[in-house]
Structure 1
Amino acid sequence: MIKKQLFHIILLALTFFSFCVAAQTSSYIVTATKDTIDVDKFDIQTKKVKIKINDDKKVYDYEALTALYDAKRQKHYEKISPVYVEYKGPSGKTFFAERLTKGKVQIYKCLMNQLYIPVTNSIGGVAGGSNSFFVYYIGLEGLAPEMLCYYEIEMSKEEYKLYKLYLHSSDTIQKEIEALFFSEEDKKEDAVINLVERYNQWWKKYKLE
C-alpha cells in the first residue's frame, strides 16, 4: 500500500515537473498590464504584433505589449524607445528589438530596413530600393538606450568608450575591456556579450554585499 502511494506521488511529481519544463519552453508575450500569455507563435509587424494561440489569432498594437519570447529561437524581444534614432523604420522611434543581455546593462539588436526614395538618375532612369542592416543599442535596465553601433559589434573606439562608461566599478571587467579593444580578434561580438553578461552577474552580487 505504501509503495503504491509512493509510486503515485512520484508520478505526480514527474508530471508536474514536465509541465513546468514545458511552460518554461513555450513562447509568450508580456502585456502592458504585466500579464504573461503563452502563445504558439507571433509575428512582429509595423506597429502591431500578430499572435496565434491554437486556432485563435489576435492582433496587438505596440502600446499593448512590452516584451516577447520566441522559444524556438530562444530569443527575447523588448519594446524600446532609444534616446536617438538616426534611421527611423516604419515603426518610428518605438519598436521591438532583440535583447542580447539581461541585467543592469542591456544590449539590443534590431534589423533596420531603410527605404530609398526613387529619384531620376543621370541616364533618365529611376533609381530606388532598400537596404537592410543591424543597429545595436546599449542602456541601463528600465531607461531609454542609446545607439551603440551599426552592422555588428566590432569594439570600435566609440564603442570602447561606452563599454568603459557602462561597465564601471569592476577593475577586472575594465581590464578585460581594454584587452579586448587592443586584441586582433576579427569577431568580437560574442566576447562583448559575454563580458556584459558577466558584469551584470557581478553587479547583482556586488549590490547584495
Structure 2
Amino acid sequence: MADVQSWVFLFLGLFGGFAVSIAFWWLINHYFVPNLEFSVEVSRSKVGFYKSGVRHQIAIKNCGQRDAYNVKLRVRLKIKDILNNGGKLWDFMDLSVSDSEYFILRKGSMFRITPLSQTTSGFSRPMFPSEIREKYEQGVLTLDDLFSNYEEMRMFIEVIATDRFSGGAKYFRSKEYSKRDIRNGVFKGRNHLSIHRQSKPSSRS
C-alpha cells in the first residue's frame, strides 16, 4: 500500500510540475509579450518635403498591457511576374523606411511607418521597366507608380518586439496591403484604425 501511495504522490508531483511549467510558458508567450496591431489601410497624403509630393504610411499601435522594447521592423513587397512577361512566380524585396528600429513603444502609443520607394536602390535594377527606373533616379517614385505597374503586388510589414520584464519576444506580420487598401488622408492621435481627411499638405516629415 505504501508503494502505491508513493507512486501516486510521485505522479501527482510530476504532473503538477508539468502543469505549472505549461501555465508559466503560456503566460510568458501570451500575456507578458507585446501586442501590436496594424492599421487596416494605408494612408496617402500630400506633403511638401518629398519631390513626388506624396507620402504613404501604415500605423502600428501597442495594444498590449506592457511596453514593447527593441522594436525592429521591415516593409516588404511581394510582386508577381516582376518582369511582366506572363510568369507566375512571386518575388520579394524590402522597401526602405524612415525608421526601422525603435528603442521603446509605450503601451497605448502609436507610430507611423513611411515606406520610401524613392530611396530603395533595388528599383534601379534592369528587371524593372524603364518608367520605374527613371522615376527612382529622379527621386519621385511612389507606391502609386508601383501598384499601377503591377496588378498583383502586395505590401506587408514584419515586426519583432520584446517585453522588458519577461524578455519574451514576439513576431508580428501585417495583412497584405493591395492597391484597394490605399486611402487618401492621414492618421491622427493614437487611432490606428481610421484615416482622416487631410486639411492641408504637410510641410514636415
TM-score class normalised by the smaller sequence:
under 0.3
Higher relative contact order (CA closer than 8 Å, sequence separation 6+): 2
Q: TM-score, normalised by structure 2?
A: 0.24
More helix by share: 1
> What TM-score comes out, normalization by structure 1 length?
0.24
Q: Relative to total residues, which structure has the larger strand share, 1 or 2? A: 1
